[in-house]
């Protein structure tokens, strides 16, 4: 018995189980699809399926299926005329579809909202919703594209102003229907097109389209016949129109389509009136009104009353016509009021729906937050316990790590101090003998006559400077690593800085017969503030490398101004015609202790620190450094720095008895960069020159100028040129131009003395050494104006005579005998009275006993008493304010700071340059005075 009961229960459950088993989500999908297909054809079955689906989904979280269910329920309510509830269902479906990211159901919810707002004459909102729905359906390529286009077409047909949109919608619907094989929507599409053409007055086109597509009456009949009748009516073919309307009414009656019958009767009455068959028209209108009243369609009722009024007027029954019009007006007002009330109620219902959905959303969010809070509380308790345990272990580990870190920090500090001490000691120990070598070399060069000995001494000095450069690189790199390299800012003249750098490397370039060129763009300010020493250091390094790695050709130094929001951004470039670099070499070029390859170090020497230091210096000055190069084709190094612009000195307009802007100058050089550089230098002093690329072109310029009676005042000619060299060109000018002969200035990068020997016989009066700048050009023009003795305008300035310190007493404190000798010989040129002390203690005793010294030159590292101790005691114990200048091999910043801390006035680093020594002494004597 129990077995039979159990079997009966199972059999009862089978129908629901087969459709709604928990795991079979595909069954609920089939149910909803079946309901979707039956919404129109079998509403009762559709409603039953929807109720079953609603029960199944009640306790499940399947938002996509819920959205589908609500969309179908919304459509059912639309068919029942319950638009408020339909809109509420569609709005909820839209929310669920958005949450589930179900684009199909979102599009369907939008379509139904569009249809509902259309019923309430909210055409703008309806169109926006329908177009959004269409866009989604088209992206998904669903069959609902046809439904949506039909709804949009119905909306566009409301106004003749949308005729073009209606035609376009119809064409889309026809194309989509043909693709999907749906003749119903195809007929609808053609109907939209014809309606749009009629609205635009394009009647013939409408008739032509109907004739083309209506070849098979069985395929298209009701809708196209309606538009065919309207077309005949507008064409004046009233009998044909009447026949078509009869056909429409017969089809409608046969298919029990009362509304289509109404539309046919309205059109038939209009045709009968055109045929002046007034009684038949009146009978048709009465039938129209009867059906409209049966269907309770007030819009058709007041249209029928309007038609009755027109018929009464045609019959001359004016009283009846007035009554019909009065009834028509009252009914129309009633319809309007009803519509307004419905719209107001609908908007109120929409607002309530939105508020309800918002409240549901807030409650859901609140519930989620509450659940999250409960979960978080558990998590927090567990986390606190874990963190407490973790903190305890971390505390234990941290104590151990702190001990280890303190030991490591102490070891690192000791290592850093040892490294700094080692570098300082090494620098001191190397600089001390280098000072002696450089000093004695300079002093010996003054008295040597033999050229070979001069060469040897020059090479000794150059080697000493190379060694000194290595020491400076190591010290700078150490400062960079320690973060103690500071950037200063002072006003300087940019063009003079560039000239100074080029002058420094002029001898090396001359020895390798490399042409040095310089270019400073006109828009570059010459008076700027920045770290001139560091800019010069970078330029020196790049120019030294360019000359080192170039065996022939030229090196071109240029300065340009670039756009920057912060100050003035200067771009320096050093271009050479040397060995160049490969891509692999460029990648690691700016790393410390790196050169292109090991063969570079063997052939050219160097530590590989220079470019790394340049990169750090440029970065500290707010710029960047890079290189452009190809192997075997030379290299161009660029770097930028930020500086501040200062008031610029006015450019000269006259020089001697010359007005610069009136001068006619011709520049002849076969090298484009050289021509450009000379032209720019002339333009800076208000001279606009003509440029010739060689001797032949120069002669053409000269002949044209003489023929025009405007001869050149000055012609600047390069010595070595491809077509005609400078000497030959000068000779031709000397012979050909007896009248209007220009002054001639000859250019050369080297062998000036040989050039003078060749140039004087052919009339060359002035000589310019490359690279040419505004200063050397002004000197040349000044000699032209005064017609003084011709001489070379060179970047190599004459050495300044040592200052006269004959009235000064200087105490030299130095323990090294050779360095004492060098210093005394340097000071001997100033005629100063020099006394010597071999350590700080002797110096103190001499100052205490005599106190006649105007200045003390103090070494730092000495036996018995070092310089720092001696300086401190002079200030604190002897209370003397005599200037003390440190002259030491200690070059580290910390050592310099120590010297100032104990009261020294200046710091000179060995090896001593006599010019710098004289400059510092002069400054101290001026301050003392």
Instruction: Please report whether residue 310 resides in a domain.
Output: no
Do 682 and 595 share a structural domain? Answer: no
By CB atoms closer than 10 A (0-12, 13-18, 19+), residue 296 is: exposed
- Number of Cβ within a 10 Å radius of residue 96: 22
DSSP structure string for 5-47: HHHHHHHHHHHHHHHH-TT-HHHHHHHHHHHHHHHHH-HHHHH
The reported pLDDT for the residue numbered 853 is 92
Asked if 207 contacts 235 with a C-beta cutoff of 8 angstroms, the reply is yes
Do 629 and 518 share a structural domain? Answer: yes
Instruction: Please report whether residue 128 resides in a domain.
Output: yes
Domain-ending residue, one of 107, 140, 173? 140
Instruction: Please report whether residue 674 resides in a domain.
Output: yes
**270-274, 355-359, 560-564, 671-675: range with lowest mean pLDDT:** 355-359
Asked if 691 contacts 675 with a C-beta cutoff of 8 angstroms, the reply is yes
Q: Measured between alpha carbons, how far is 667 from 675 in angstroms, rounded to an integer?
A: 7
Do 600 and 672 share a structural domain? Answer: no
Do 911 and 828 share a structural domain? Answer: yes
Per-residue pLDDT of 776-808, as tens digits, reads 777 777 777 655 433 433 334 344 678 999 999
Do 593 and 684 share a structural domain? Answer: no
Instruction: Please report whether residue 758 resides in a domain.
Output: yes
**211-215, 250-254, 674-678: range with lowest mean pLDDT:** 211-215
Do 641 and 664 share a structural domain? Answer: no
Q: Measured between alpha carbons, how far is 665 from 688 in angstroms, rounded to an integer?
A: 7
Give the pLDDT band of residue 99 (cuts 50, 70, 90).
confident
Asked if 864 contacts 841 with a C-beta cutoff of 8 angstroms, the reply is yes
Q: Tell the residue number behind the tokens 């039953």, with chain if given.
A: 48
Per-residue pLDDT of 816-845, as tens digits, reads 888 888 888 889 989 999 999 999 999 999
Do 544 and 634 share a structural domain? Answer: yes
More confident residue, 449 or 264: 264
- Number of Cβ within a 10 Å radius of residue 183: 12
Instruction: Please report whether residue 903 resides in a domain.
Output: yes
Number of domains in the chain: 4
Do 123 and 33 share a structural domain? Answer: yes
| Cα–Cα nearest to 245, from 263, 219, 218 | 263
Do 35 and 63 share a structural domain? Answer: yes
The reported pLDDT for the residue numbered 436 is 60
Instruction: Please report whether residue 453 resides in a domain.
Output: no
Asked if 542 contacts 496 with a C-beta cutoff of 8 angstroms, the reply is no
Residue 394 has pLDDT above 50, yes or no: yes
Per-residue pLDDT of 871-903, as tens digits, reads 999 999 999 999 999 988 777 777 888 899 999
Calculate the alpha carbon distances from 645 to 451, 490, 528, 566, 680 in Å.
Answer: 47, 11, 5, 11, 20
**204-218, 467-481, 522-536, 545-559: range with lowest mean pLDDT:** 467-481
CATH number at residue 122: 1.25.40.10
Q: Measured between alpha carbons, how far is 557 from 542 in angstroms, rounded to an integer?
A: 10
| pLDDT mean over 326-332 | 78
Do 870 and 771 share a structural domain? Answer: no
Average pLDDT over all residues of the chain = 80
Do 848 and 711 share a structural domain? Answer: no
Per-residue pLDDT of 635-652, as tens digits, reads 999 999 999 887 766 666
Q: Which of 237-251, 532-546, 577-591 has the highest mean pLDDT?
A: 532-546
Q: Measured between alpha carbons, how far is 870 from 501 in angstroms, rounded to an integer?
A: 38
| pLDDT mean over 584-604 | 62
| Cα–Cα nearest to 525, from 474, 554, 564 | 564
Per-residue pLDDT of 462-474, as tens digits, reads 566 656 666 666 6
Q: Measured between alpha carbons, how far is 555 from 578 in angstroms, rounded to an integer?
A: 9
Rg over CA atoms, the chain: 52
Instruction: Please report whether residue 439 resides in a domain.
Output: no
334 Cβ contact partners less than 8 Å away, ≥ 6 residues apart:
298
CATH number at residue 744: 3.40.50.2300
Q: Measured between alpha carbons, how far is 751 from 757 in angstroms, rounded to an integer?
A: 10
Question: pLDDT exceeding 70 applies to what percent of the chain?
Answer: 81
The reported pLDDT for the residue numbered 602 is 43
Domain that holds residue 110: 27-140
Do 896 and 848 share a structural domain? Answer: yes
The runs of H, that is alpha helices, within 627-685 are 672-684
CATH number at residue 501: 3.30.565.10
| Cα–Cα nearest to 351, from 87, 75, 133, 106 | 87
Instruction: Please report whether residue 224 resides in a domain.
Output: no
DSSP 801: P
Residue 3 has pLDDT above 60, yes or no: no
- Number of Cβ within a 10 Å radius of residue 813: 30
Per-residue pLDDT of 841-868, as tens digits, reads 999 999 988 878 999 999 988 888 999 9
Q: Measured between alpha carbons, how far is 906 from 923 in angstroms, rounded to an integer?
A: 10
| pLDDT mean over 342-355 | 71
Give the pLDDT band of residue 25 (cuts 50, 70, 90).
very low
Q: At what angle do helices 238-254 and 258-274 cross, to 10 degrees?
A: 160
What pairs with residue 490 in β-bridges?
530
Q: Tell the residue number behind the tokens 């819920």, with chain if given.
A: 66
Asked if 308 contacts 322 with a C-beta cutoff of 8 angstroms, the reply is no
Q: Tell the residue number behind the tokens 């490398």, with chain if given.
A: 545
818 Cβ contact partners less than 8 Å away, ≥ 6 residues apart:
433, 436, 440
Domain-ending residue, one of 645, 668, 700? 645
Residue 222 has pLDDT above 70, yes or no: no
175 Cβ contact partners less than 8 Å away, ≥ 6 residues apart:
189
């Amino acid at each position: 018995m129990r077995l039979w009961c159990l079997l009966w229960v199972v059999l009862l459950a089978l129908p629901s189980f087969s459709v709604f088993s928990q795991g079979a989500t595909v069954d609920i999908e089939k149910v909803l699809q079946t309901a979707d297909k039956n919404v129109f054809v079998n509403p009762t079955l559709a409603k039953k399926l929807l109720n079953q689906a609603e029960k199944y989904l009640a306790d499940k979280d399947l938002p996509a299926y819920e959205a589908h269910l609500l969309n179908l329920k919304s459509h059912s309510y639309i068919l029942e005329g319950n638009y408020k509830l339909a809109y509420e269902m569609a709005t909820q479906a839209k929310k669920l579809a958005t949450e589930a990211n179900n684009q199909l159901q979102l599009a369907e919810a939008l379509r139904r909202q569009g249809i509902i707002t259309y019923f309430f004459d909210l055409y703008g909102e309806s169109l926006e919703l329908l177009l959004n729905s269409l866009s989604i359906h088209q992206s998904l390529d669903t069959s609902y594209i046809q439904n949506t286009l039909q709804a949009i077409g119905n909306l566009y047909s409301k106004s003749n102003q949308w005729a073009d949109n209606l035609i376009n919608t119809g064409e889309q619907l026809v194309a989509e229907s043909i693709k999907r094989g749906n003749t119903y929507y195809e007929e609808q599409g053609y109907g939209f097109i014809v309606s749009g053409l009629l609205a635009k007055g394009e009647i013939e086109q409408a008739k032509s389209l109907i004739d083309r597509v209506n070849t098979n009456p069985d395929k298209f009949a009701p809708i196209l016949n309606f538009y065919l009748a309207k077309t005949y009516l507008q064409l004046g073919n009233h009998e044909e129109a009447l026949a078509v309307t009869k056909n429409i009414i017969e089809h409608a009656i046969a298919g029990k389509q009362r509304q289509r019958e109404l539309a046919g009767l309205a059109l038939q009455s209009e045709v009968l009136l055109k045929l002046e068959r007034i009684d038949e028209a009146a009978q048709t209108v009465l039938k129209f009104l009867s059906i409209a009243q049966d269907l309770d369609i007030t819009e058709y009722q007041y249209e029928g009353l309007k038609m009755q009024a027109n018929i009464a007027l045609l019959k001359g029954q004016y009283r009846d016509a007035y009554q019909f019009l009065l009834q028509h007006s009252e009914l129309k007002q009633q319809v309007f009021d009803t519509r307004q009330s419905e719209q107001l109620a609908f908007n109120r219902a929409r607002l309530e729906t939105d508020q309800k959905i918002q409240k549901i959303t807030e409650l859901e969010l609140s519930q989620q937050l509450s659940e999250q809070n409960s979960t978080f509380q558990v998590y927090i308790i567990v986390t606190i316990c874990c963190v407490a345990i973790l903190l305890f272990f971390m505390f234990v580990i941290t104590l151990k790590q702190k001990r280890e870190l303190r030991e490591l920090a102490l070891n690192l500090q000791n290592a850093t101090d040892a490294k700094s001490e080692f570098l300082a000691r090494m620098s001191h120990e190397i600089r001390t003998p280098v000072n002696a070598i450089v000093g004695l070399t300079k002093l010996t060069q003054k008295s040597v006559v033999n050229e070979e000995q001069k060469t040897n001494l020059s090479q000794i000095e150059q080697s000493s400077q190379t060694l000194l450069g290595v020491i400076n690189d190591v010290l700078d790199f150490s400062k960079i690593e320690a973060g103690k390299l500071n950037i200063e800012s002072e006003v300087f003249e940019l063009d003079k800085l560039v000239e100074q750098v080029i002058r420094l490397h002029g001898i090396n370039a001359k020895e390798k017969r490399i042409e040095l060129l310089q270019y400073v763009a006109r828009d570059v300010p010459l008076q700027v503030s920045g770290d001139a020493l560091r800019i010069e250091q970078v330029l020196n390094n790049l120019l030294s490398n360019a000359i080192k790695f170039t065996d022939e050709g030229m090196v071109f130094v240029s300065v340009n101004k670039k756009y920057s929001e912060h100050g003035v951004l200067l771009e320096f470039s050093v271009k050479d015609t040397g060995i160049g670099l490969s891509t692999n070499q460029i990648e690691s070029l700016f790393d410390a202790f790196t050169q292109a390859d090991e063969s570079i170090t063997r052939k050219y020497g160097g530590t590989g620190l220079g470019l790394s230091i340049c990169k750090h210096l440029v970065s500290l000055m707010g710029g960047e450094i890079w290189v452009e190069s190809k192997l075997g084709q030379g290299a161009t190094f660029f770097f930028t720095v930020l500086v501040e612009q200062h008031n610029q000195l006015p450019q000269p307009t006259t020089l001697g008895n010359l007005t610069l802007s009136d001068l006619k100058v011709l520049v002849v050089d076969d090298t484009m960069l050289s021509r450009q550089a000379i032209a720019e230098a002339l333009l800076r002093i208000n001279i606009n020159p003509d440029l010739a690329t060689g001797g032949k072109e120069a002669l053409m310029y000269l002949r044209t100028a003489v023929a025009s009676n405007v001869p050149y005042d000055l012609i600047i000619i390069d010595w070595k040129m491809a077509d005609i060299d400078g000497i030959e060109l000068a000779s031709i000018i000397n012979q050909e131009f007896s009248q209007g002969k220009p002054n001639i200035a000859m250019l050369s990068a080297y062998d000036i003395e040989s050039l003078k020997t060749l140039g004087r016989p052919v009339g060359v009066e002035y000589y310019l050494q490359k690279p040419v700048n505004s200063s050397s050009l002004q000197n040349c023009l000044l000699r032209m104006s005064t017609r003084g003795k011709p001489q070379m305008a060179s970047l190599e300035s004459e050495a300044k005579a040592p200052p006269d310190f004959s009235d000064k007493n200087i105490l030299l404190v130095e323990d090294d005998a050779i360095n004492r000798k060098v210093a005394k010989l340097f000071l001997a040129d100033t005629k100063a009275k020099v006394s010597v002390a071999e350590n700080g203690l002797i110096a103190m005793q001499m100052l205490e006993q005599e106190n006649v010294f105007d200045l003390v030159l103090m070494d730092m590292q000495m036996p018995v008493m070092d310089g720092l101790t001696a300086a401190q005691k002079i200030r604190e114990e002897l209370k003397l304010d005599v200037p003390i200048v440190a002259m030491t091999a200690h070059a580290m910043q910390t050592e310099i700071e120590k010297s100032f801390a104990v009261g020294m006035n200046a710091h000179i680093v060995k090896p001593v340059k006599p010019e710098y020594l004289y400059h510092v002494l002069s400054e101290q004597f001026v301050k003392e005075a």
